[in-house]
Structure 1
Amino acid sequence: MPALKALVVPAMQLPPRIFDRPLIARHLERRPNAVDDFVTTLILSDLDDRLVTLLRPFPAALILGPDAEALPKTATTGKGVIEFERVGTIAADAELPHFAQPAYDLIISILDLQMVNDVPGYLSQLARRLNPDGLFLAAALGGNTLSELREAFLVADSQLSGGAYPRVAPFIQVRDGGGLLQRAGLALPVADIETHIVRYANPLALMAEIKALGAANPLHDRPRKPATKQLLALASEAYIERDADPDGRVRATLEILWFSGWAPHESQQKPLAPGSATTSLKSVLEKPKT
């Protein structure tokens, strides 16, 4: 009788660990109470403008963000006031925290996705929490956010050690937004981006504000040694050389990516089936004979 071969089952491949979430939680806990989180304020103001155009009720609404206390308790839509269940996601042991309800009519993510290691998996789990025809709406930092600071550190690291180190977190690109929503099973995906230029007295003022906001280097594979004075001086010099205005102040790019999608429902618009058009492209483009 031939010997039986052992059945080898490949282990499930886990997503790469990009962010040090316990570190992010500690950074948020250490923020000064009086810190002006202008980025969140800007996003929440934009959120109000977007929600007021929605002419439908949302009996069960959930809003997610790194810090639940920074999120609004209520908001106004075209149908009136909605009350949010607020959930802080960074303090949770798992990337998807516990929710009070099994399903929602509206789920909003505010500055949460850029701290998630498995964004497609996270979005898929949130999509499954939507009732049919429920809305998912998210604001995240776009891919060009802090691009000036990233480039300055690349130059400084190259001059100092001949290599590059991860010092600025990666952000979601706008071209990926719609695809991520479709992959999660959401319909009618829409993505748009708003770009703001923020100016600072010098690069060190920008770095100090990032630290005060609890947004210092959150990467799991970050350098373990603190940045030296020499590195900061070289990065500041490179930053000023590339991105200083005539008055001496430096520019920093802030991109806010908004995207939305709906849980599938039979009432939603469907794309036309191939071959169902009643007018040919040729007949539209053909010039009439004279």
Structure 2
Amino acid sequence: MTDATHDIPTNASAAGPHGEGPPQLFDRVLLKQRKNRAAGEFDDYNFLHARAAEDLIDRVSAVTRDFDTCLVLGGGGAVGRALKKRPDVAGKFGHVIEADLAQGLARTSTFKGLVLDEERLPIAEESVDIVLSCLSLHWTNDLVGALIQLNRALRPDGFFAGALLGGSTLTELRQSMMAAESELAGGVSARVSPFADTIDMAGLMARAGFAMPVSDVDRVTARYGNSFVLMRDLRKMGETSVLKTRPREPVTKRFFVRTAEIYSEKFAHEDGKIPATFEILHAAGWAPHPDQPKPKRPGSATVRLADALGVDERNAGQKAGD
């Protein structure tokens, strides 16, 4: 494991300080600290990362080509372990390099492990053939900016597939915390990090310059005995809030007890267990290449839709059977 980009050409300018940019929602230094803290027991609590990694591998298995250099971002080694179980997919790659923001997680890599920051990716343009991102991009302050960097790192016709947490993630916990704080303090604070909306991941990919972008959603419901167990698991995953605007004053025990009570009252199943929703957004696309298929110009069709479907064409307002 190393924090240099050995075996990948570097782009030194990418590692420089930010200039004017988007608002800094997340404390990335704190995120790194918490992920390092979680690294020791991460394998016991990484069920979401394992699921996302397996889905990423399935998506690559459907691509009928090989890739020389594969860069994996995030996942705490989950993608490498999933690849070891799928030699049919692992055989598509000449070299696999796993990278993580936290040194502790990078050490768990099955393949060569690096420490990289997705927000300032020190990878030379057009230097890798495929990038897989496993549950890390939802912590970036500028998601489109991170996607642009990944697009630039890909060689022409290179492939990107990523998984990140979406906007409905932990909706039950968010609602319960807000209700508890409103009841006890007369106001609410942001205590659960915001996540990317599900509405248009393909649109964000297109904005970042990817060709033929696609996206879909995997919704996972985990069940817990109570919200204390859920929050423990989030800490062990390294997925607790790192909002820059998070409240700094100590939280009372009564707040967490009342959160647990409201969570149970509003959401518990008949057996008393509580659900926790995790929304995993998947997105994929290709680095542009001149030989890729292009959408046809509007109005350039040479066959009527009715003829293609084998039906009779009717005027607007004409009823079937007229």
TM-score (norm 2): 0.79
In terms of mean alpha carbon deviation, does 104-113 or 276-285 score higher? 276-285
Does the Cα contact within 8 Å between 2:118 and 2:140 map onto a contact in 1?
no
Q: How far is 1:281 from its partner? A: 5.3
Tell me what 2:63 maps to.
54
Q: Pick from 249, 252, 255: which aligns with 1:225?
A: 249
Look up the SS of the partner of 1:171 in the other structure.
coil
Tell me what 1:203 maps to.
227
Q: Pick from 155, 160, 166: which aligns with 2:179?
A: 155
In terms of mean alpha carbon deviation, does 240-249 or 265-274 score higher? 265-274
Does the Cα contact within 8 Å between 1:56 and 1:77 map onto a contact in 2?
no
Tell me what 1:5 maps to.
none
1:72 matched to 2:72? The reply is no
Does the Cα contact within 8 Å between 1:145 and 1:171 map onto a contact in 2?
yes
Tell me what 1:29 maps to.
36
1:189 matched to 2:213? The reply is yes
In terms of mean alpha carbon deviation, does 230-239 or 277-286 score higher? 277-286
1:89 matched to 2:101? The reply is yes
The CA distance in 2 between the partners of 1:258 and 1:70, in whole Å, is 16
Listed as ranges, the matches of 1:1-290 within 5 Å are 13-31=20-38, 33-35=40-42, 36=44, 37-65=46-74, 67=76, 69-72=77-80, 75=83, 76=87, 80-82=91-93, 83-89=95-101, 92=116, 95-99=119-123, 103-280=127-304, 285-286=313-314
Instruction: Write the deviation string for residues 2-57 of structure 1: whole angstroms up to 9, x where unpaired.
Output: xxxxxxxxxx6421111111111111121262342111111112222222222101
In terms of mean alpha carbon deviation, does 28-37 or 53-62 score higher? 28-37
**Percent pairwise identity:** 38
Higher fraction of helix: 2
In terms of mean alpha carbon deviation, does 261-270 or 97-106 score higher? 97-106
The CA distance in 2 between the partners of 1:100 and 1:84, in whole Å, is 17
Does the Cα contact within 8 Å between 1:54 and 1:79 map onto a contact in 2?
no
Does the Cα contact within 8 Å between 1:103 and 1:130 map onto a contact in 2?
yes
Letter in 2 for 1:21: R
Q: How far is 1:92 from its partner? A: 5.0
Instruction: Write the deviation string for residues 85-114 of structure 1: whole angstroms up to 9, x where unpaired.
Output: 222135657722333785211111111111
Does the Cα contact within 8 Å between 1:56 and 1:79 map onto a contact in 2?
no
In terms of mean alpha carbon deviation, does 243-252 or 43-52 score higher? 43-52
Letter in 1 for 2:80: P
Letter in 1 for 2:313: L
Q: How far is 1:239 from its partner? A: 0.8
Look up the SS of the partner of 2:68 in the other structure.
coil
* Structure 2 residue runs without a partner (length 5+): 1-18, 103-114
Alpha-carbon distance change, 77 to 100 in structure 1, aligned in 2, over 3 angstroms: farther
The CA distance in 1 between the partners of 2:55 and 2:298, in whole Å, is 38
RMSD: 2.5
Letter in 1 for 2:72: I
Alpha-carbon distance change, 24 to 175 in structure 1, aligned in 2, over 3 angstroms: same
Look up the SS of the partner of 1:128 in the other structure.
helix
Q: How far is 1:289 from its partner? A: 8.8
